[in-house]
Amino acid sequence: MDLLPLEHPLPEILPAKKLLGHVAGTFVAPFDHFETRAVERLELSFEGIAGDFHAGYTRKSGGREPWYGRGTEMRNERQLSIVAPDELAIVAERMSLPEIKPEWIGANLLLSGIPQLSMLPAGTMLFFKGGVTLKIDAQNGPCRIAGRSIAENAKMPDHDAASLLFPKVAKRLRGVVAWVEKPGAVANGEDVSVRVPEQWIYR
């Protein structure tokens, strides 16, 4: 049987691809603050990182979800924050700083070797050698809170100006957020296989 023609032609479809990265740092946030500290490994459950500030099956909505009243309980798709060293270096240069440490902006994972990590699309899966699987939900938008943390840790003279500068210069360079699909432990130094899904632009 002949298929009926589509009313609208399909957009360009990019094939799926695989990449290989490396865990260059693992970090945990205390339960009462978003800044993180370096650890040797992350213990992950379906709730995220045990004891981490962003752990939980659900979270409270904020400024990123204007369609809900602030504080509405919703599914937690932001269990982990993931950043890349090359992108942090670009942001640091734009802020006239020698470096920006992942801990200052609450990152849980520093992944090296993945080109344009912040541009990985939603649905990208991260398969860690130790058995953990994470699924990327979205790009992480830079905010003033992280900017102020950078200013304080880097001892910048004007904290208010720095908190406003960071969201501007870190757009599309702030990394991604992800949730745990398969729990276990992620060790500092292990390899990660990245599976980027088939992509298209819906118009």
For residue 158, is it within any domain?
no
Locus of tokens 């432990």: 185
- Amino acid letter, residue 95: M
pLDDT-based confidence at 5, cuts 50/70/90? low
Kindly indicate the confidence band of residue 203, based on its pLDDT and cuts at 50, 70 and 90.
confident
91 half-sphere exposure, CB direction, 13 A CA radius = 30
Q: Number of structural domains, the chain?
A: 1
Could you give the C-alpha distances from 149 to 84, 103, 106, 152, in angstroms and in order? 18, 10, 9, 5
Residue 57 vs residues 60, 76, 88, 110, 124: alpha-carbon distances, Å: 11, 5, 29, 23, 20
- The full 3-state SS of 76-125, as one line of letters, equals CCCCEEEECHHHHHHHHHHCCCCCCCHHHHCCCEEEECCCCHHHCCCCCE
Looking up tokens 């990590």, which residue turns up? 117
Q: What is the pTM of this model?
A: 0.93
Domain range for 122: 15-94+103-139+172-197
What is the pairing mode between strands 37-39 and 17-28? antiparallel
User: Does residue 10 belong to any structural domain of this protein?
Assistant: no
Distance (Å, whole) CA 90 – CA 99? 9
Residues 140-158: pLDDT tens digits? Answer: 999 999 999 999 999 999 9
Per residue in 64-82, pLDDT (tens digit) is: 899 999 999 999 999 999 9
Q: Please indicate, yes or no, if residue 50 is contained in any of the structural domains.
A: yes
Q: Which of 58, 54, 57, 60 minimizes the C-alpha distance to 42?
A: 54
Confidence of residue 59 (pLDDT cuts 50, 70, 90): very high
User: Per the domain annotation, does 47 fall within a domain?
Assistant: yes
Give the H or E element holding residue 199.
strand 199-200
Give the separation between CA 9 and CA 88, rounded to whole angstroms: 40
Q: Look at residue 6 and tell me whether its pLDDT is greater than 70.
A: no
Give the domain CATH number at 127: 2.40.33.20
Task: Report yes or no on 61 lying in a domain.
Answer: yes
Classify residue 55: in a domain, yes or no. Answer: yes
